[in-house]
Amino acid sequence: MATAAALTLSATPAHAESERPDFYEPPATLPAHNGDVIRSESADFYLDPFRLLKAAADVNRIMYRTTDGDGEPLAVTGTVLTPHKEWSGGGERPLVSYAVGTQGLGDHCAPSRQLAAGSEYEGLFIKGLLLRGYAVVVTDYEGLGTPGEHTYMNRAVSGQAVLDAARAAQRLPEAGIADDGPVAITGYSQGGGAAAAAAELAPTHAPELDLRGVAAGAVPADLNAVAETIDGSLYAGFLGYSVAGLAAGNDIDTEPYLNEKGEAFLEESRRYCTIEAVARHAFTRSATLTESGEPLSEYLKEPLWKAVIDEQRIGERTPAVPTLVTHSLLDDVIPYRVGKNLAADWCAGGATVEFSWNLGPTHVGGAVAGYPKVFTWLGDRFEGERPRSTC
């Protein structure tokens, strides 16, 4: 199966344990509206695993309501960060809903737990947003930290979780964020997919948000194209994340497709965060995991899996706000053409799109090279500058 591999290789938090903390257990009854806060508690954000460098922000862990793939109410968790730095720009302090890249499937891999442990690999980028005076909310996505399987790479539930996280942050009194203030969304890799999906879903799912723009990097818009790239590569371990996540999101039994080695591969994928998955399964070829001896990409051609993969396609719906799509020509996980085609699809639908390419080496380097552009672009949106279009 396809995946958006991690921005970098994050380790399992040192405090990872099999038990789920009480905070992450949803109540029997959920509130009435998407974005409603179920509970919150004070938390921390450390920039290092020794917990010596604490971010200058008020940090609150939250549980809030969103919607699952069947349209039913769902509780997910996340983190709201309000910088100590005063907002010096015009109007209300902006809010950025930040969609993280691949974390893993284990509950201990949830961003809200890794931020507190100092092991969140995107911590420096989040800090960069805080330094600019923006409030930030980071969703854990469906099933990451909370009960159930993390529905990795499922388009709609990811985009909804990102949008509803913004709503929840605005509704949390402790955060001090205006309930009608400006909002932007950004993410890379898996997070780029979630951000792009949110851009497409916003007009119908969260039309009241003052959404100024969405910046999405290395978007896995076409999972078929990604599947062949990562099979047998350094990032082969993330095949397990994709199989488990897509199967969980679509009620598919994987047993008929996987041999004994494949089942063990999938079980390990459910346990380990990013760096462990890479270390254990690098260069694994999926043909060694299947009952038929064919690569997993062959299963994508079957009607059941084809329908699932087609549903995850990003680019068939048109965002109503300005968008930035970034991608490295040297991306070794999500082919450059996938990002280029996404921008073209959105342009064809009439969206305002700026496509920004770079020469960052590898998937990780593409993120590092692209973030200065993202920071500048977000600043322009919050300042009301006219968006550039490369359509």
Mean pLDDT of the chain: 93
Q: Are residues 68 and 176 in the same domain?
A: yes
Q: Are residues 204 and 233 in the same domain?
A: no
256, 281, 310 - which closes a domain: 310
Contact 321/184 with Cβ under 8 angstroms? no
pTM for the model: 0.94
Write down the pLDDT at residue 238: 83
Q: What is the pLDDT of residues 264-278, one digit of tens each?
A: 999 988 888 987 888
Q: What is the pLDDT of residues 97-127, one digit of tens each?
A: 999 999 999 999 999 999 999 999 999 999 9
Residue 267 lies in a domain: yes
Q: Are residues 297 and 341 in the same domain?
A: no
Tokens found for residue 355: 């496509």
Q: Are residues 63 and 150 in the same domain?
A: yes
Residues of the domain holding 204: 29-222+322-382
Residue 6 lies in a domain: no
Stretch 134-156: mean pLDDT: 97
Residue 142 lies in a domain: yes
Q: Are residues 355 and 274 in the same domain?
A: no
Write down the pLDDT at residue 240: 86
Q: Which residue intervals of the chain are DSSP H helices?
A: 111-117, 123-131, 155-171, 190-205, 223-230, 238-249, 260-269, 274-281, 296-299, 303-311, 336-348, 362-382
Q: Give the integer Cα–Cα distance in Å for 228 and 333.
A: 9
pLDDT at 59 over 50: yes
310, 344, 363 - which closes a domain: 310
Contact 98/137 with Cβ under 8 angstroms? yes
Residue 216 lies in a domain: yes
Q: Are residues 211 and 328 in the same domain?
A: yes
Q: Are residues 165 and 49 in the same domain?
A: yes
Which of the four pLDDT bands, split at 50, 70 and 90, describes residue 4? very low
Per DSSP bridges, beta strands 182-188 and 210-217 are parallel
Q: Are residues 215 and 84 in the same domain?
A: yes
pLDDT at 325 over 80: yes
Stretch 203-232: mean pLDDT: 95
Write down the pLDDT at residue 2: 35
pLDDT at 146 over 60: yes
pLDDT at 333 over 80: yes
Q: Are residues 210 and 279 in the same domain?
A: no
Q: Are residues 135 and 155 in the same domain?
A: yes
Domain count for the chain: 2
Residue type, 50: F
Which of the four pLDDT bands, split at 50, 70 and 90, describes residue 18? low
277, 310, 343 - which closes a domain: 310
